[in-house]
Each structure stands twice: as C-alpha cells, then as structure tokens.
Amino acid sequence: MTTPENAGAQQGSQGNGSEQRVVDGRPLSGHATTDGGFVSDDGRTYVSPAGVVEHGLTAPDGSFLPNGVVRTVDGQQVYGSVLSDGSFRSEDGTLTVLPSGVVEHGRTTPDGAFEYQRTVDGQQVWGSDTKDGWLSSDGKTYVDGSTGEVQHGLTAPDGLFLPNGEVRTVDGRQVYGSVGKDGSFRSEDGTLTVLPSGVVEHGRTTPDGAFEYQRTVDGQQVWGSDTKDGWLSSDGKTYVDGSTGEVQHGLTAPDGLFLPNGAVRTVDGRQVYGSVGKDGSFLSEDGTMLVLPSGVVEYGRTTPDGAFEYQRDVDGQQVWGSDTKDGWLSSDGKTYIDSSGKTEKGITSPSGQFIPGGSTHTLPDGTVLYGHQDGGDFVTADGSTVVLANGTVLNGSTDPATGIFTANSGGTYSIDDNGITPVTKQPDGSYLLPNGQTIMTADSWRIDLQALSDAMGLVSRRAEDVNGYCQAITGQYAAIEASWSSPAGDSFADASKKANDAMASTRGLLRDVINRMKMSYDNYVQAEHANTKNSTGS
C-alpha cells in the first residue's frame, strides 16, 4: 500500500520580513511561515520547524508541494507531488497518475492512502493499491495485481491481507488466520494449523507454504507435512500412510512423488528415479523401464494395477505381457510361456489363473464360467461346477486324484478325456463305470490291500499246516516202507516216491502263491504311494 510522503505544507501568512538562511550549504532568501517553518522566495524550498529540508514548488493557493510538479491531465493543468514510487498525486488528493501513465480518480484518506473505485463482483468498491495488488477499504477484498484474481477474506491488525481469513479462539487466545481449501485453519504467523477434525497442530510454515509439524517415526521426532493421503517427512525419505499408518522409507523424486524403497540409478547412461521391489527388481518412476535382479533392462509400460508389461515375440508377433511367478502371461490372458520357453494357448480367469486350452461357458443368468469343454459337457477350472450337455448345472467338488466329481445333490461323475460320465460308488470306495471298468480310489486301495493282506496271512497259515501234514505223511510212508517185507515192497517204494513228489509240488505251489501275493501287495502299495504323492504335490 503506497503512503504519500507529505500531503503538503501550508505557508500561511508571511512573517514581518524576508530573511536569509543557509540551506544545503548555500545562502537562501525567503521568509518564515506561520507554522514556524521557512520557505524560499522562489517557493521551491521549504524548511520545516524541525529543520527538515524539502524541495518542490508552491501552488497558487500557497501550499508547498514536496517534489511538486505541474502536469497536464485530461487537458487541465494540475498541481501535485511525485511520490517515491514515481506516481503523481494531485494537490487536492482526488487524482493519481500511476508510473504507467494510467490516471485514477478517487480520494486520499487521512493517513495519506489514495483510494479509488473498481468493479468487484459487479459492485463498485473503494480501495487502494498495494505493493502487488489492490485492497478494498474495509480490508475484506484483495485483487491480485498480476492475475486479476479476486480474493475475499480480512486484513489482520498488522495490515496483512488473509485470503479466506477468520479470527478464531485457539488454546484460549484470539488468532488471525486463513481457511484452506481442505477446511483447515492456518494462523497468520504460520505456526499453528487447526485440521478440519478440530485437531490443533503446532509447527512451522515453509517458504513454499507447506505446514510442517513433528511426529514420532521409528522412535524419533521427525519434521514433515500432510499430503493428500498421508504424511511426508521434510527430507522426503519417510512416508506414513494416512489410512493404515504404515511407515515407508524411500525418497522423493524431483516432481514431489514419494517412491517407496526409492533409489536413483544410472541406466543406459542417464539418471533414473524409481523403486526397488521385493524381488530386487527396479521400476522407474514413470513405469516405462524395469531392471531385473539379473541386470537385464526391459522397456515397457505399467498397468493401473501396478503390473509391468513388456513385449516379446510370440508366433512371429510382438505381444504385450508381464512376468508371472514362473513364466510370462500375455496382457489378453490367452498366451502363457513357461520358464523353459514352452508356449501354451488358453484363457485367464478373473482370479488370474491361466487355463491351458481353456474356454468359457455362459449360464442363462449371465454368469460366465472359466474352465474346459469336455465333449459336450463343461467343467470349471477349479472343478466346482459341471455343466452337462443337456444344460444341467451341477455344483460340487472334484477329487484331483481320481477325477471324480461329487455333486452337492449327491450324484457322482467321472471326468476324463472321454467326457463326463455318471459312475456308481462301490462298497470298497471304488467307482464303477457303465462299461464295467473300475476307478480305484485311495479308500478302495486301502480296503482291497487289507483284504489281500488278510488272504496272504490265511494262505501262509494254511501252507504251514499243509507242510506239517506232508511231513507226517512222509514219516508214515518211511515207517511202512521199512517194515514191508512182501514181494510188493518195490511197488510200495515207487508209490511212496510219487506221494513225496506230489507233496513237494504242493508245497512249491503254495510258496509260489504266497510269493506272488506278496509281490502284488508290494506293487499295489508302491503304486498307491506314488498316486498319493502326485495328488498332494509333495
């Protein structure tokens, strides 16, 4: 706000005679004024009663005008003074000519401020120029000098205009300040903020207008400021999530974005800001470059959900996609390349599961199922739903070890490469196909193996009995043969040999049966162990 240096000195009636004084080191003729001052005869120098020397001119009405000049304004000769900012103020205080040549008509206040009217929000409002704008007389409206923006508020006792200004009572004292767009209240001196929630923070305001306050981070008092959705330390290396309270360490890029686990790396000869992921990869801030832990640099793009995609050659075409835990999946979810380089075609479910050779099936209610077409039937990838060729929808679960689907309604079906076939559960836990074939399960294996084990035990015990009987018979034959004294003795010895041969063959047969049963049992146990291992993925 420009303040006139002197509104003019009135000479008043002259003294009784002229006199000479030394002014600025030279004698000057003049006369005393009624206020006790001195004015030169040519009217261009005035010395106040306090001895202050001013140069200017004297208007026709006898008023001395410091730095006075006569200008032609709007075709009229006007007496006035040139102020320190180069503007011209008329003697009567109703006109100002700005250094730019613009003429303002208005009024001068008792404290020397020049006020004029301008249109604000459709109304004629009195006010005066400030250093960089215009302030209304009531101190409630400010117009920015460079942008023309109109701001409403109030003026503090020290003369500072406060946009959206208010006076609040905080901690028992009256505080002048401004209300921000977010509803917070900032004190004029910048040391206090009242959040919309009513919480009072004491701190400091930075040169760029940010309010900083201290909070405890990792046991230390750290300066920082609120962001849109959290809090950022002054050094830009620590961020606290506003919703979860999670503390993240990193760095802040030159554009003000906080980068968790941030780092600055030189890639392809240029300095790049980015973040280091859990797997050790480095993703540039703009999301267009990924440096793998191996050092390989990939150029691509980052999706809204944070996945980094890059192009690779698939069947002679450049296809966008991203790395998975053990391979690469195209953006459209239709192509998967495993770690060995094998390419598979299929679809990807909404949960992100790639289904080799997969397809979709839409139910009458619009629900889309993801899985495989099996002949005329359809089964979902997780085996929870089967749609038969006739349109029947069955919900249930599938045993991955046997391929048996059990519907919640109670029916059982076999799912294999030949389609979905109804099966009948047997007492031992196996399932009987319509063609008479049997699907063994872990339960049925346990039952059948136990039965085989029991049979082996029974045959082994009977073999021991048979062996005992054979030994008894052999002993009897030997006794009879020794006591036989008739000419038929040779014939009996021949019969005894044949009986011994027959009993030896019986014992050999029993041993062979037992060995074969034991071998079958061991084979079944090993096969079942292998099936269980494969089904559990161990």
pLDDT tens digit sequence for 250-296: 999 999 999 999 999 999 999 999 999 999 999 999 999 999 999 99
DSSP 47: E
The set of long-range contacts for 456-465, using a CB threshold of 8 Å and a minimum separation of 24, is: 456/514, 456/517, 456/518, 456/521, 459/510, 459/513, 459/514, 459/517, 460/514, 462/510, 463/507, 463/510, 463/511, 463/514
Q: Are the CB atoms for 192 and 199 separated by under 8 Å?
A: no
For residues 500 and 120, what is the distance between their CA atoms, to the nearest angstrom?
133
Higher pLDDT, 434 or 149: 149
Is this prediction's pTM over 0.75? no
Q: What is the pLDDT of residue 403?
A: 87
> Of the given ranges (28-42, 149-163, 394-408, 484-498), which has the lowest mean pLDDT?
484-498
Two tokens at 462? 């009977």
pLDDT digits (tens, 9 = 90+) for 410-421: 899 998 877 898
- Mean of pLDDT over the chain: 86
| Three-class DSSP category at 460 | helix
Is the pLDDT at 538 greater than 60, yes or no? Answer: no
Higher pLDDT, 471 or 146: 146
Q: Are the CB atoms for 44 and 58 separated by under 8 Å?
A: yes
pLDDT digits (tens, 9 = 90+) for 472-499: 677 666 666 666 555 554 555 565 666 6
For residues 356 and 345, what is the distance between their CA atoms, to the nearest angstrom?
6
pLDDT digits (tens, 9 = 90+) for 70-95: 999 999 999 999 999 999 999 999 99
Among left, alpha and beta (phi > 0; psi -120 to 50; other), residue 145 is alpha
pLDDT digits (tens, 9 = 90+) for 134-167: 999 999 999 999 999 999 999 999 999 999 999 9
Domain limits, the chain: 1-96, 261-302, 303-351, 358-439, 442-536
pLDDT digits (tens, 9 = 90+) for 345-391: 999 999 999 999 999 999 999 999 999 998 889 999 999 999 999 99
Percent of the chain predicted with pLDDT > 70: 79
Is the pLDDT at 535 greater than 70, yes or no? Answer: no
The enclosing H or E element of 264 equals strand 262-267
Q: What is the pLDDT of residue 13?
A: 40
Altogether, the residues listed in the chain come to a count of: 538
Mean pLDDT over residues 170-190, rounded? 95
Q: Give the residue from 509, 508, 514, 484 showing the smallest Cα distance to 496.
A: 484
Two tokens at 418? 């030949």
Q: What is the pLDDT of residue 12?
A: 46
Q: Is the dihedral of CA 238, 242, 245, 246 positive or negative?
A: negative
Q: Give the residue from 293, 264, 289 showing the smallest Cα distance to 277.
A: 293
Q: What is the pLDDT of residue 524?
A: 64
Residues forming a β-bridge with 239 = 232, 248
Q: What is the pLDDT of residue 484?
A: 58
For residues 289 and 202, what is the distance between their CA atoms, to the nearest angstrom?
42
